[in-house]
A and B are shown apart, each in its own frame.
Chain A
Amino acid sequence: MTDVELAKKRGEDHLKDTLPAIKKTFVYEDTAYHLPISFALTGTAVHDLNTARDVFSKTGNNPIVASECLLAEKTATQGKEPAPYTGFIGDTVIRKLGYSLVDGSILGLALVIGSPDSPGAAAAICRELQEKYMLTFLAGPVIPTLSDNGVKLGLEYRLIPLGSTPAYGIHFVDIIARVAMMFGGVTPGDAHRLLAYAAERAKAIVIVFPGLSDDEIALVDGMRVLGFPILSLGDYSGGAWIAAEADTIVRKGMEAKGIRVNVTAIPIPMGCSPAFEGKSIRKEEMYVEFGGGRSTAFELLRMRPVGEVKDGQVEVIGPEINSMKEGSANPLGIIIEVAGKTMKKDYEPVLERRIHNFVNYGEGSWHVAQRDLIWVRLSKEAVAKGVKIEHLGKLLASKFRMDFPQLLDAVSVTLITDPAKVADARKEAEQIYDERDARIKGMRDNDVNTYYSCTLCQTFAPNHVCVITPERPALCGAISWLDGKIAYEISPSGANQPVEKGTVLNAQNGEFEGVNRFVRKASHGEVDRCSLYSVMEYPMTCCGCFEAIALMLPEVNGIMVVNREFKGITPSGMTFSTLAGTIGGGAQTPGFAGISKNYILSDRFLQGEGGIERLVWMPSPLKDELKNRLVQKLVEKGLGDFFDKIADETKAMTIEELMVYLEKVGHPALAMKPLV
């Protein structure tokens, strides 16, 4: 057992002692970066003992710096090693390699170093790295071990043999230093930036076999400061080196560095494309179905800690398709488990909704509804082609990884078809659904400091931006505060951006300093102030896709609402269409506000004007649509009889008729503070 900490210390001391023995000058041909590592760290071109000593002390006696200088002198003295060893690689080739890193044809870099006990294990590791689009550099006796066992080496195989001893592993670091300077905008001498680049952008891992000297251990351990995880197969203990087995070491390394292989193909015997989304599977066409009232079925997506999900794993618990009778209804539980460094519990329902789309992309699969109301079918045609239940799982696992490459590192799918197990799992799922509902229901504007904006309709209204709060959804009705938050976290440069509330300027109107600042910028200076809860003063701008319009009726001191579907004239004297034409396009029109239908149920609706009692008129179909939920809210507020005082087109069509009606029922708005 080699103690890494002790060996490292000995190695560092030894390097420090050996450095002064440098006699000759040294220079690498074909590079503009001198000794790249010391050049990147200090800006000094090192070619002799003096400069070497200089940078060594400047970098706090760094073992990597020492190793670089020593190997450079050795190369100058003894000459380059013969083929297949590459030794130092010139800039032209490095530029090409860097190019492949940036364009994604290479996912990352690996250094494999040391003397493997088992040639087979070494070969397997290299093969796995190749399959996962890693560019692998080799240093030490691992090289002859591989070539003696028939493994082909060279740039074209992405297995590059640097040198005969592990010390040549230093070239791995000088390559990364050069990539940082060529592509990463790192200026020579900016050590801080170099370290940041190496840690964040360079996807590099180190795999260590036994047989490293103390110097070499110091060198390898020194790479940790660059953010490279060190994984070891040898008997090294201690330090921060991660011990692993040969069959998991590559996966562990890539996970540790967040390197993910992109999924491009879906390995199932049926087509999968958005083109199939609308295709339904009729009763005569189906082989088997799940749920839909005929059997128990549910779906659930859950987040798990990174490392606990085996990417691509699909398990079917219970009978497979060949045990199911044609035309039968069977129980099904679809459980998707996902892991990702940036994944959050909040995103579960958003991702879960995608199960519906993905299953429908399958040429022979069909899906309807969500949660424990799902109805799924597989067609006879698909089953005849060999499609099984597990293929449904493979489809889901692949699509989730393909569509969320940044968010999800690993996706695994369990499909339960055993009736008892489905029933149990469903009970658990229902608890989770309830928890989620409870979380969203109670959200209040005052609970959060950040609202979210949406600029999706700016194509039609250049200066418009919606500000979405928990109690006020977007005026198109499609996006809630949670949707905006999740969209932002998943695509930070997308259409939804955070809006810091800032100080409260007017609580009743919902005017906030941060919101004002945001709106001013987003409207290019056109709009100065925005009150989130007011229709009369600085209401939010409107694009054109609002579901309804709330507007003032000064004659009756109230606010009316008309929705898009209502085609008739309103007591304002205008139709929805006329109103929409005037207030849309990004204008801020005091007295008029575009809203979503559900906002009418919010406590914040008309808060600026004194509350829901301002509402004097609404088209009757809209009244019906909202009736149950609205009445419930009104009762909670102690306004049980208010609903019937809201007029509609059957009670009043003109302003004069409305005035008469409101007086007759004793509508509260008549007695409230004057609107105008």
Chain B
Amino acid sequence: MVLKALDIYKLLPKKNCKECGDPTCLTFAMKLAGGKADVDLCPYLDEQAKSVLGATTRPPIRLVKVGVGVRSFKIGEETVLYRHEKTFYHPPAIIFRVSDTQTDAEIAAVTRRVRDETFTRVGTDLRFSGIAIENTSGSAETFARAVAAVEHEQAHLPPVLIAKDPAALSAALVHCGSYRPLLHSATAENYKEMCALARKHGCPLVIRAQTLDGLIQLVKDCTTEGVQDLLLDPAPENLGAFVIRSTLIRQLAITRSVPELGYPVYLDASSTGQQDAALVLGIVKYASVIVTSPLAPGPAKATLTLRQNIYTDPQKPIQMNPGLYRVGNPDKDAPVLMTVNFSLTFFTLEGYLESSRVPCFMLIVDTEGLSVLTAVAAGKLSETLVRDSLKKFGVENEVTHRKLIIPGYASPLSGRIEEATGWKVLVGPRDAAEIGEFLHEEWQKQD
């Protein structure tokens, strides 16, 4: 059962010694309750208290790091079944796969693609996460050569090594063992050797079984062998199997009913024969590493966008950078429309402005991501903010007129904005969909 902060506090020494790094035991207790601290940080807990607390406060899903350097990624430490309950924390890694039967040139091309391809949305650079090399040939030598080809590109991408034969993996690890690659996979048959390899190189290991019981057993076995950083591959034969198993794993892990399932999930999107659908389901249904063949432009952008959307914290709306944005080619007479920096507001308005085909400026002010209605109610959208933004972004140099269009829901501020800025205020529609009509009728009427 999940312990609350008060219950945890009762088990702590209550000395406020600060050696855990927090100023009070209360603070430490709250962090433990949120799965955000390690119980080992407290030097005054006895073993019994530690194990009771540890079991119930340790993050229910282990945090695993893959790769090294700038492109390394972390997965795990999730706490909910539905993103709306709190949020999903660590976006899944999307890994492009190459086969060791491909030519070096082909392998290099895919590697460069993952290294360079960047899709920028909402001020964030979205990228694919790593390269998986599969030992399709069955030969250790061929496999090792393929891995070398990847590393030759110096892309420093997190590698995923897929092989059934520990010997092949061993050969490949010569070329990338110090880069913390993810090893796929340990099964009931080969886990001892796989664990030995993982231990030797300090890599995370994927374990694979088609039943949850099988996975649980493997977890026990591998942790006994000394490997703690594990991923679970439920080996789904179709999409339905994936959804069921992944959902169960998540549910049983976060309720701490089956702590052995408290590890991130691995999915090979092509194994189900429905790669695109598997990518979608992997993203929304709890996969943390998704391996796929290199994606065409459509699926590539859609995958990165979906991942970005689903893994946005629902309580922290994405914000635009405040500033003066152009739609089309506005000249000195173009209208200036002010609104908030909540990204959804921005894009919705921008979309309608583009369809209206009226070149204009969007003055985006910093309401810390709040929507118009909320920002007005909370007092975050104020006449001083508008006045300061007009000055900061040099709007007076861009247009000769002094007319500002404000969103309909900001109408209570119209008089105060006029007074503070000296500009004339036109109150626009409440619904962005009507902005086109407004510009064609109201704006054209202005002298």
Contacts and interface: CB of A to CB of B under 8 A. Distances in A.
Interface of A: 274-280, 460, 462, 536, 544, 552-555, 569, 572-574, 582, 585, 589-592, 654-656, 676
A573 B4 contact: no
A572 B24 contact: yes
A574 B27 contact: yes
Which one of B6, B86, B427 has the greatest number of beta carbons of chain A within 10 Å?
B6
Nearest to B82: A462
Contacts of B425: 278
Nearest to A462: B84
A573 B415 contact: no
Contacts of B419: 280
Contact of A655 (B4, B10, B24, B315): B24
Given A460-B314, A460-B315, A554-B26, 20 more contacts: A275-B414, A275-B427, A277-B411, A278-B410, A278-B427, A280-B419, A462-B85, A544-B315, A552-B6, A552-B26, A553-B26, A555-B16, A555-B24, A572-B24, A573-B26, A582-B5, A585-B85, A590-B5, A591-B5, A592-B5
What are the 8 closest A-B residue pairs judged by CB atoms, nearest first? A573-B23, A278-B414, A280-B415, A573-B24, A275-B427, A573-B27, A278-B412, A590-B6
Interface residues of B, number: 34
Contact of A582 (B34, B314, B412): B34
Contacts of B30: 574, 582
B416 A278 contact: yes
A536 B5 CA distance: 11
A654 B23 contact: yes
A554 B427 contact: no
A573 B411 contact: no
Contact of A278 (B9, B14, B24, B413): B413
Given A275-B408, A676-B6, A676-B9, A572 B86 contact: no
Nearest to A274: B411
A555 B22 CA distance: 15
Interface string B10-45: 100010100000111011001001100000000000
Contacts of B34: 582
B5 A274 contact: no
A554 B10 CA distance: 10
B16 A655 contact: yes
6 contacts: A277-B411, A552-B26, A573-B23, A590-B6, A676-B9, A676-B10
Nearest to B376: A278
B45 to A, nearest CB: 17
Interface in B407-430: 408, 410-417, 419, 425, 427, 430
A554 B408 contact: no
B5 A589 contact: yes
A330 B10 CA distance: 68
Given A278-B411, A555-B16, A572 B5 contact: no
Contacts of A554: 9, 14, 26
Interface string B74-93: 00000000001110000000
A45 to B, nearest CB: 52
B364 to A, nearest CB: 20
A358 to B, nearest CB: 14
B116 to A, nearest CB: 37
Contacts of A589: 4-6, 33
Which one of B9, B411, B419 has the greatest number of beta carbons of chain A within 10 Å?
B411
B408 A274 contact: yes
Which one of B4, B9, B30, B411 has the greatest number of beta carbons of chain A within 10 Å?
B30
A408 B158 CA distance: 68
B416 A656 contact: no
A569 B416 CA distance: 35
A333 B412 CA distance: 25
Nearest to A361: B411
Contacts of A552: 6, 26
Contacts of A569: 23
Given A572-B24, A676-B6, A279 B85 contact: no
A248 to B, nearest CB: 41
B22 A277 contact: no
Given A554-B14, A582-B34, A277 B4 contact: no
A572 B6 contact: no
Nearest to B16: A655
B24 A536 contact: no
A277 B5 contact: no
Which one of B22, B33, B412, B415 has the greatest number of beta carbons of chain A within 10 Å?
B415
Contacts of A275: 408, 411, 414, 427
Nearest to A545: B378
Contacts of A573: 22-24, 26-27
A204 to B, nearest CB: 38
A93 to B, nearest CB: 38
B27 A279 contact: no
B352 to A, nearest CB: 18
A655 B26 CA distance: 11
A544 to B, nearest CB: 7
Contacts of A656: 16
Interface in B367-418: 408, 410-417
A282 to B, nearest CB: 9
Nearest to B10: A676
Nearest to B22: A573
Interface in B313-363: 314-315
A592 B412 CA distance: 36
A585 B82 CA distance: 13
Contacts of A462: 84-85
Contacts of B413: 278
Contacts of A655: 16, 23-24
